[in-house]
Amino acid sequence: MPENVTVPALIAFGDSILDQGNNNYFPTFIRANFPPYGMNFLGARATGRFTNAKTPTDLIAEKIKVKEYVPAYLNPFIQDQDMITGVSFASGATGLDPLTSRINSAIPMMDQLQMFSNYIRKLHVLVGKVETGNILNNSLFLVATGSDDFVDNYFTYPIRKVQYDIPSYCNYLISKASTFVKELHKLGARRVVVFSLPAIGCMPTSRTLSGGKYRSCASIYNKAAKFFNKKLSSELYSLRFRNPPVKVVFADIYTPMLEIIKNPQSYGFEIVDRGCCGTGEVEVSWMCNALSRTCSNISNYFFWDSFHPTEKAYKIIVDHLLQIYVNDVLSL
Ligand SMILES: *[C@@H]1O[C@H](CO)[C@@H](O)[C@H](O)[C@H]1NC(C)=O
Ligand SMILES: *[C@@H]1O[C@H](CO)[C@@H](O)[C@H](O)[C@H]1NC(C)=O
Ligand SMILES: *[C@@H]1O[C@H](CO)[C@@H](O)[C@H](O)[C@H]1NC(C)=O
């Protein structure tokens, strides 16, 4: 943390990387509020976080000294103080493409912005308009989305593949991302971190579907992610508006993730090609459940299920990201 900088709140948007349990509160199959999810969380509680313990939302909030656990906005039991220090609007399996959230019954990105407007009105009541302005001006905003647009939409269903090749689908998604960030800026966000796509081809599910006999990283997925990331990075750079000022930072998670997967031992991992839950090759959400066998020692695993990293993997990546980006985004 830069000296003398305090961050009043952390606010998150996007998909299951940052979802703190919003999907528990409306009908969808994409959930994580049953064991073995949360196996290593406080009290071994399955809260709807899509991993074995804390998500990057919690880990980042803790590192920037906001709080230890970030609540899901839709949780009806949030205390006022918890509301004031930030919430997550993220919803597992949403995407930039509205079709993705429709396929998966997740909260569309634009609806998450609407929820954020309602949140601002609640803050007005709780702390008044001036303090709300202060909170918005100084808080850290996280945005992580796009993986599901490829993994469980473009590469799974024929609809978008017929309409778009990969470069034009990337352009379509990036125009959506750009609109999202502009709207977020209009609503008052100033310090915004947008995550790149991870190395989606190395997710156990992509290896199983498209990695061939040896379940290698699916190169077509990773190529799409790299192309998307390059375009997103330059688009976000163009959004560094001065009036009112905003700092939009593109956070590359693709490179550190691939580095760990290529050199697992250097980071204390043994198994990086399957998750800890079940066979580890296909199980995610409702397929990873109380009947699934879990691995004997989770600290050897990069992936928790066939989509999501373990808390240990998230911690390594988050520490790396904060070192690189925190000064830049908080220097506003
Ligand atoms: C931080 O605050 C302290 C006390 O107000 C002050 O002495 C110091 O110069 C500040 N440091 C920076 C880098 O602004
Ligand atoms: C928030 O930032 C805007 C734009 O820089 C500024 O006009 C406004 O006074 C700030 N609000 C507070 C409460 O600091
Ligand atoms: C789990 O694995 C880690 C790292 O390889 C090791 O340090 C630890 O002792 C193991 N724990 C158990 C219970 O075997």
pLDDT band for 241, please (50, 70, 90 cuts). Answer: confident
The pLDDT value recorded for residue 243 is: 74
**In the predicted model, what is the mean pLDDT of residues 138-164?**
97
**Tens-digit pLDDT profile for residues 66-109:** 999 999 999 999 999 999 999 999 999 999 999 999 999 999 99
Q: How far is the CA of 298 from the centre of ligand 3 (A)?
A: 8
**In the predicted model, what is the mean pLDDT of residues 282-302?**
97
Q: Which residues of 294-328 are buried (b: 16+ CB within 10 A; e: fewer)?
A: bbeebebbbbbbbbbbbbbbbbbbbebbbeeebee
**Tens-digit pLDDT profile for residues 301-319:** 999 999 999 999 999 999 9
Provide residues with CB under 6 Å of ligand 1. 3-4
Residue 185 annotated among the catalytic residues of the structure: no
The pLDDT value recorded for residue 286 is: 94
**Which helix (DSSP H) or strand (DSSP E) does residue 193 occupy?**
strand 191-195
**In the predicted model, what is the mean pLDDT of residues 261-290?**
97
**Which helix (DSSP H) or strand (DSSP E) does residue 170 occupy?**
helix 166-186
- pTM reported for the whole predicted model: 0.96
* Ligand 1 atom nearest 3 alpha carbon: 13
**Tens-digit pLDDT profile for residues 115-147:** 999 999 999 999 999 999 999 999 999 999 999
Q: Report whether pLDDT(156) > 80.
A: yes
Ligand nearest to the CA of 331: 1
Question: 264 CB under 6 A from ligand 3?
Answer: no
